[in-house]
C-alpha cells in the first residue's frame, strides 16, 4: 500500500541484488499515528499531545532502522540511516524529527542534535521491551540548521541536501567503505 506520508530509505548493494539495511521517515498527519505513539503510549501517553502540538511545524519520525548481519558493525543501520533520514526529511519539507532510541542509538542520535524529550516519560526515558531496557524518546527541533549536532555531521548532511546523489569514500568502524548516496525521491 502506498502511503504518501511514509518515505522508505533502502541501503543496498550497487547492483541492487542485496539489501543491507534501511529506515523510514513517517510524517505526522491528522487521523494517523506515528509508530512511536504505539510503542510508548502505555508508558507515556503524553507523546500524543506533544505530537499534536508540533503538527504545524511538520514533525515526522525517523524509525525502523535496521541492518542485515552481513554488514553488522559498519554503521549501516544507524549512522548512515540517520544521516540519510535527516537529509531526506529536509528535502520533503519536514522541520522536526522524533525518534525512539535504544541506549546505543541514542549515543549516535546525539551526534545529530537529538535531545531527550523531557516532557515524555521520566525526562525522556521510558521502560521498553517488557521493561528489560530503557528507551529514550528524542527530538531534533530544527533539522534545517541541526542545532546541537556535531560540525562534521551537520556539514555532511548540508552537503547531501545540496548534492543528493554523490559517491564518498567513508572511514567506517571496520575500514574504508565506498558509499554511493542517492536521495532522489522515487515513488514506486
Q: Is residue 17 part of a domain?
A: yes
Q: Provide the 10 A C-beta neighbour count for residue 45.
A: 11
Residue 50 domain flag: yes
All 3 cell numbers of residue 168? 564518498
- Total domains in the chain come to 1
Confidence (pLDDT) at 152: 93
Question: For residue 187, is it within any domain?
Answer: no
Provide the residue range defining the domain that includes 53.
6-182
pLDDT at 9: 92
**Any domain includes 188:** no
Which CATH number do you get for residue 112?
A: 3.40.630.30
Return the ∠ at Cα 145 (arms to 125 and 120), rounded to 5°: 15
80, exposed or middle or buried, with CB in 10 Å at 0-12, 13-18, 19+? buried
Low-confidence ranges of the chain (pLDDT < 70): 1-2, 77, 130-131, 187-188
- In whole angstroms, what is the distance from residue 98 CA to residue 78 CA? 15
Give 80's DSSP letter: I
pLDDT of residue 2: 66
Looking at the domain assignment, is residue 46 inside a domain?
yes
Within a domain: 25: yes
Q: In the prediction, which pLDDT does 104 show? A: 84
Residue 1 domain flag: no
pTM confidence score: 0.91
pLDDT tens track for 101-149: 988 889 899 999 999 999 999 999 999 876 578 999 999 999 999 999 9
**Is 121 domain-assigned?**
yes
38 pairs with which residues across the strands?
none
Amino acid at each position: 500500500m502506498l502511503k504518501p506520508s511514509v518515505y522508505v530509505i533502502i541501503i543496498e548493494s550497487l547492483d541492487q541484488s542485496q539489501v543491507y539495511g534501511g529506515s523510514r521517515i513517517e510524517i505526522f498527519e491528522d487521523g494517523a499515528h506515528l509508530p512511536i505513539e504505539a510503542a510508548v503510549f502505555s508508558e507515556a501517553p503524553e507523546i500524543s499531545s506533544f505530537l499534536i502540538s508540533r503538527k504545524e511545524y511538520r514533525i515526522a519520525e525517523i524509525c525502523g532502522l535496521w541492518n542485515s548481519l552481513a554488514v553488522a558493525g559498519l554503521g549501516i543501520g544507524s549512522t548512515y540511516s540517520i544521516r540519510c533520514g535527516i537529509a531526506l526529511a529536509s528535502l520533503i519539507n519536514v522541520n522536526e524529527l522524533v525518534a525512539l532510541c535504544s541506549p546505543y542509538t541514542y549515543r549516535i542520535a546525539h551526534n545529530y542534535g537529538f535531545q531527550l524529550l523531557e516532557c515524555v516519560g521520566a525526562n525522556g526515558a521510558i521502560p521498553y521491551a517488557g521493561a528489560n531496557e530503557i528507551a529514550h524518546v528524542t527530538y531534533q527541533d530544527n533539522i534545517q540548521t541541526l542545532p546541537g549536532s556535531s560540525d562534521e555531521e551537520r556539514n555532511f548532511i548540508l552537503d547531501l541536501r545540496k548534492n543528493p546523489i554523490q559517491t564518498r569514500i567513508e572511514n567506517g568502524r571496520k575500514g574504508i567503505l565506498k558509499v554511493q548516496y542517492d536521495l532522489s525521491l522515487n515513488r514506486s
